């Protein structure tokens, strides 16, 4: 009998609770989803939708903030083609969990999901799966 390599953890699928987000100033993280505070929670992205009508190709990157407020990228940079619906599904997105870590002090992370765009006014929407108690 072969052991189960990775146990399946059922999570709750939902849209990002910030709704449709427009990227703002270059290099500033815009909040896409705030983790629930009802217990230890983690989340992973299962779908990313981005519309870029800024006149040129641009990039986005997803990450979180440290407890000290510094940017902490979690996913690789993604290219958003101009005037196209850019969609990534869970098969295209690395399996990275956003974790709230308050035990590590200033080096810990909030776990909230933020997006940084290389240009302003790109429209971003996410779907995620949230785990935990």
Q: What is the pLDDT along the chain (133 residues), one digit of tens a residue?
A: 444 445 566 788 899 999 999 999 777 789 999 987 766 788 999 999 999 999 999 999 999 988 888 888 999 999 999 999 999 999 999 999 998 877 767 777 888 999 999 999 999 999 999 887 6
The answer to whether residue 3 sits within a structural domain is: no
Can you give the pLDDT at residue 39? 66
Per-residue b or e along 79-94, where b marks 16 or more CB atoms closer than 10 Å to that residue's CB = ebeeeeebebeeeebe
CATH (domain of 78): 2.60.120
| Range(s) of the domain holding residue 63 | 12-132
The answer to whether residue 123 sits within a structural domain is: yes
Can you give the pLDDT at residue 4? 46
The answer to whether residue 44 sits within a structural domain is: yes
The answer to whether residue 49 sits within a structural domain is: yes
Q: How many domains does the chain have?
A: 1
Can you give the pLDDT at residue 133? 61
Can you give the pLDDT at residue 123? 96
The answer to whether residue 61 sits within a structural domain is: yes
The answer to whether residue 91 sits within a structural domain is: yes
The answer to whether residue 1 sits within a structural domain is: no
Can you give the pLDDT at residue 5? 46
Can you give the pLDDT at residue 41? 81
CA–CA dist 10, 80 (Å, integer): 31
């Amino acid at each position: 009998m072969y052991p189960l390599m990775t146990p399946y953890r059922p999570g709750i699928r939902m849209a990002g609770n910030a709704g449709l987000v427009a990227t703002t100033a270059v290099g500033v993280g815009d909040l896409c989803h705030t983790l629930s505070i009802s217990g230890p929670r983690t989340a992973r992205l299962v779908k990313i939708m981005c519309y870029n009508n800024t006149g040129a190709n641009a990039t986005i990157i997803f990450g979180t903030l440290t407890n000290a407020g510094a940017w902490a990228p979690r996913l690789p940079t993604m290219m958003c083609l101009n005037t196209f619906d850019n969609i990534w599904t869970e098969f295209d997105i690395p399996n990275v969990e956003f974790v709230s870590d308050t035990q590590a002090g200033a080096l810990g992370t909030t776990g909230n999901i933020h997006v940084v765009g290389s240009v302003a006014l790109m429209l971003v929407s996410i779907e995620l799966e949230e785990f935990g108690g």
